[in-house]
Structure formats: structure tokens, C-alpha cells
Amino acid sequence: MAVFESVEEIWMGQANVERLIEYISDRDVIQKKYLRDVMAALDAGERAELEGILEFFLSDHTLEELGEAYFVFLDNVWEETKYFLSEGHYRYSRVAEVEEKVYFNEKYMKQYMVGLQITGYLWKTHREVHRWYKEKIKAFKGENYLEIGPGHGQYFLEAIRCHNFKHYTGIDISTASVNLASRYISRFLDDKTADYQLVCGDFLTYPFDCAFDGVCIAEVLEHTENPEEILRRIYGLTAPGADVYASVPINSPVIDHIYLFRSIEEVLQMSKRAGFTVMDHTYTAEIDNISYEEALKKKCTIILSVHLRHA
């Protein structure tokens, strides 16, 4: 569901999107060409969603601050990519090495979350993953739904809007993320009677009081030291027949990515060891018109999206 509901609202609302693109393009000529192609690939609904997101952030940010948040995220990825291609591994491998720099650094997390949400529309890999999620989540049904690491709240909001569960829970280790997601959902959720909660806590130790029939864990496993432990915990918390959506970056260096997945097969085998059946999966690579084998060889970022089921 788009943030705006009419064609007139969509076209009246393009000013902020165009202004942001202009700001970024003026700063970086490479981004100028890339973003021109990206904008051409967005459909009207996605443009409207992005405009609504920018309007939301502009309530307490300037457009220049939004542009700077985008560059904070971009520069972070670029620096970590140079390190990864040179050294063959991520810079950090333990949560303790990044939690003060990222998760418990409220100022940085606010910029990081803004930049991440913008790239959800402006980066091809993020956009394609988002599209696949929106289609998959429509078929998830049951009593209780859980999202692990909802971040800015976009995916959590879309799950609630499907009205396929009675209760929705989101858990995130970052206070800044929980606060942002709470504000975001409060702003854009039309159904004020929806039964949902967002809690700040550690997924591995939080005392959940129900079994879940649907779970989303989008780009979280790579932030952990032992992703198989996370998957086993999800399996233990889900009811038989429960559906799980997961997205997992492969060869994707970011400051707080600490577990390096090197192939799709690695993720699928890990999921099976945790007890899940792989129902479906797809992937998108950051380079167009490249085979999976070539993407692995070049160590370019691949994002896997996978639908798992508790058999």
C-alpha cells in the first residue's frame, strides 16, 4: 500500500524526491548517473512511498541532513568495501567491536537508519529485495507475527497492513531503532486498532510468551556472531507450519556486518540444519547482467531472499 492514495497526491508530492536526487547528484557525479537510472525503474507507488518517507523525515530534518545521511551510509559501505576487497574478510567479527560505534551510538544510528531507508528505494538490490518481501508477506497468516530487527519499521508496517495476524511483535537491540519505528508506524498506520508492540531487547534472551506463525528477519543474521543460533531460536519459537522470511547479504561489507556469508548455498544449508524447509528463494546482485558464479568470483554484493517453513 502506498503512503499516498491518489494519483493527484503522487504527482503533487514529487518535489522532495527530486530535490533529494538533485542534492546527491550535485555532490557525486557517479551517483547522478546511477540515480537517474534507478528513478526510471521505480513505479508510481514506490515514488509515492519514498515521497511520504521524505515528508516524514523532513518534520525534524532538513533536506540537506537527509542527503548527508545518505552519504554517511554510502561512504560507510565504500570504506568497508575497500577493506573487504583488500583483506578478504570483514573488518570486525564480534558484536562487542561494533555495538558502541553503531547500535548504542544514538546520533550515528539516527543517520544510519535514515540513510538505510532511503537506499531501500534508491539502491537496486534493496529495492528488489523489498519487492519480493511485499509479495511473500501477503501469504503469511496466523495468530502471532514477529519481526527481528525491524530497524526503521518499513517492513513491520507492511506486515501489519496485510491484516493476516492478530498480534504483531517487533524486537530490536537499538533504542534509536525502536523509537524511529514507533514514530514511523504511528504516522503511517491507518488502522489505529491494530494490535502490535515494539520492544527493545536481545532476541536470544527475550522471554516471549507465545509461539509465532510468521517471522521476518531482514538483513539481521550477518550482524551476529552465530547466525545458526539465531535460526535455531526462531525455529524453537515458531509453530509447525510457520512461515519465515529472511534476507541475507552475501559478500556485503558494512561497518556492522560481522558474519561473512560467502554463498547462497551456505545460507540455505544453515537454514536446513536449524530445522527449516526451504520453500523458495531468489537473489539480486549489485551488478546488472552478471551470473551468480561471476558475482561470487568478483566478490560483489548479493542479497538473498528466502522463504522458510517450520516443517
pLDDT digit string (tens) for 202-259? 999 999 999 999 999 999 999 999 999 999 999 999 999 999 999 999 999 999 999 9
| pLDDT, position 8 | 42
Domain boundary, last residue among 120, 148, 177 = 120
pLDDT tens digits, one per residue of 264-296: 999 999 999 999 999 999 999 998 889 999 999
- 2 pLDDT band, cuts 50/70/90, is very low
- The verdict on residue 1 lying in a domain is no
165 and 178 in a single domain? The answer is yes
158 and 259 in a single domain? The answer is yes
- Asked if residue 3 has pLDDT above 90, the reply is no
pLDDT tens digits, one per residue of 48-104: 999 999 999 999 999 999 999 999 999 999 999 999 999 999 999 999 999 999 988
Q: What's the mean per-residue pLDDT of the chain?
A: 93
- Asked if residue 139 has pLDDT above 50, the reply is yes
- Asked if residue 14 has pLDDT above 80, the reply is no
184 and 109 in a single domain? The answer is no
Mean pLDDT confidence for 176-198: 95
- Asked if residue 4 has pLDDT above 50, the reply is no
Q: In what order do the strands lie in the sheet with 144-148?
A: 196-200, 167-172, 144-148, 212-218, 238-250, 302-310, 276-285
169 and 281 in a single domain? The answer is yes
Domain boundary, last residue among 90, 120, 150 = 120
48 and 131 in a single domain? The answer is no
Q: From residue 257, how far is each of 24, 25, 246, 261 by CA, in Å?
A: 25, 27, 16, 10
| pLDDT, position 12 | 46
Q: What are phi and psi of 309, to 5 degrees?
A: -140, 140
218 and 285 in a single domain? The answer is yes
| pLDDT, position 261 | 98
228 and 90 in a single domain? The answer is no
Q: What angle do CA 158, 249, 299 make, to 5 degrees?
A: 150
What is the C-alpha to C-alpha distance for residues 179 and 181, in angstroms, rounded to an integer?
A: 6
Q: Which residues of 293-306 are buried (b: 16+ CB within 10 A; e: fewer)?
A: eebbeebbbbbbbb
| pLDDT, position 106 | 86
- The verdict on residue 175 lying in a domain is yes
Identity at 256, one-letter amino acid code = D
Q: Is the dihedral of CA 11, 12, 17, 19 positive or negative?
A: positive
301 and 261 in a single domain? The answer is yes
- The verdict on residue 2 lying in a domain is no
115 and 136 in a single domain? The answer is no
Residue percentage of the chain with pLDDT more than 90: 88
- Asked if residue 38 has pLDDT above 70, the reply is yes
Q: What is the CATH number of the domain that holds 149?
A: 3.40.50.150
- Asked if residue 15 has pLDDT above 90, the reply is no
| pLDDT, position 192 | 87
Strand, helix or coil for residue 210: coil
Domain interval for residue 48 = 7-120
Which spans in the chain are helix H? 7-12, 15-27, 29-41, 44-57, 63-87, 95-98, 106-122, 124-137, 154-161, 175-188, 227-237, 264-273, 292-298
**What element of type H or E holds 242?**
strand 238-250
Report how far Cα 104 is from the mean position of its chain's Cα atoms.
Answer: 19
Domain boundary, last residue among 120, 142, 167 = 120
22 and 159 in a single domain? The answer is no
123 DSSP assignment: S
192 and 260 in a single domain? The answer is yes
- Asked if residue 13 has pLDDT above 70, the reply is no
Mean pLDDT confidence for 115-142: 96
- The verdict on residue 108 lying in a domain is yes
169 and 294 in a single domain? The answer is yes
**Number of folded domains that form the chain:** 2
- Asked if residue 156 has pLDDT above 50, the reply is yes
